Amino acid sequence: MFFWNKKHKEPIDLSWLGTDIHSHLIAGIDDGAQDTAASLALVQGLANLGYKKLITTPHILWDVYANTPEIIARGHDELKAAVKEAGIVMDIQAAAEYFIDEHFEEQLANKVPLLPISGNMILVEFSMITAPFDLQNVLFEMQLQNYQPIIAHPERYAYLINKRDFFDDLKNSGCLFQLNLLSLTGYYGSSVQELAEHLAKGNYYEFAGTDIHSARHLGNFQKLASSPVYQKLKEDNRLRNHLL
């Protein structure tokens, strides 16, 4: 048994969030869990952190992960069956994390139904190197089709750290923001942490997610206990995860 000494804080408890809206739990369809055993380890780990509901979000990045609603639905069914057989109590749903690329724009142009987090909310990401020049047009088209864009991990677009009005433009245009919790721990680097803290203090975030891909992420959530910004987010109770 593992005993905490006086220098350790209590294990982090994320039950106040209730629902995780960003994860990669379906085995073998993206860069997340690669087999059922890995999927179950992640689901159990998230249960241990206090989550009651997981909305898993496989990548749809067409040149790399050509996932379709059918592939995701099949993987979701298999995951739910494995979780039930393992005796893990967890509500698991599935959506997608859409990369804004030519394929995504074609889906919009053809009015192909997208997979929502909940209601009409769609999780989207874009290049970690440079923002697409037509990003605002794509997001506007989503809204014209009655979709609510949620920008995944905006703090990870570190090239925008000195262009913070970019985030104001996105927010003012009606986009919602989703924080990667590990960004507050320095997991992705100091510049990402700095930007995450700036956005959190400015009340930009509506949601938080684990964006969990593998077991190596699980232990790092304990570092949130040392983040004053995380503690303030919890105290303010502005995040909407628990409403999903």
- Number of C-beta neighbours around residue 127 at 10 A: 13
What's the pLDDT band for 11 if we cut at 50, 70, 90? confident
Tens digits of per-residue pLDDT, 96-143?
A: 999 999 999 999 999 999 999 999 999 999 999 988 889 999 999 999
Q: Is the pLDDT of residue 244 over 90?
A: yes
Whole-model pTM? 0.94
Q: If you compute the radius of gyration of the chain from its CA atoms, what whole number of angstroms results?
A: 18
pLDDT of residue 187: 97
Report the alpha-carbon angle 173-227-5, nearest 5.
155
Q: Is residue 2 classed exposed, middle or buried when 0-12, 13-18 and 19+ CB atoms within 10 A define those classes?
A: exposed
Tens digits of per-residue pLDDT, 148-195?
A: 999 999 999 989 989 999 999 999 999 999 999 999 999 999 999 999
Q: Measure the CA–CA gap between 86 and 201, rounded to whole angstroms.
A: 40
Structural tokens at position 48: 């241990």
Q: Measure the CA–CA gap between 154 and 131, rounded to whole angstroms.
A: 11
- Nearest CA to 81 out of 145, 47, 90 is that of 90
Domains and CATH numbers, the chain: 19-234 (3.20.20.140)
Structural tokens at position 89: 């109590």
Query: 16 phi and psi, to 5 degrees?
Result: -65, -25
pLDDT of residue 206: 98
Q: Is the pLDDT of residue 27 over 80?
A: yes
pLDDT of residue 133: 85
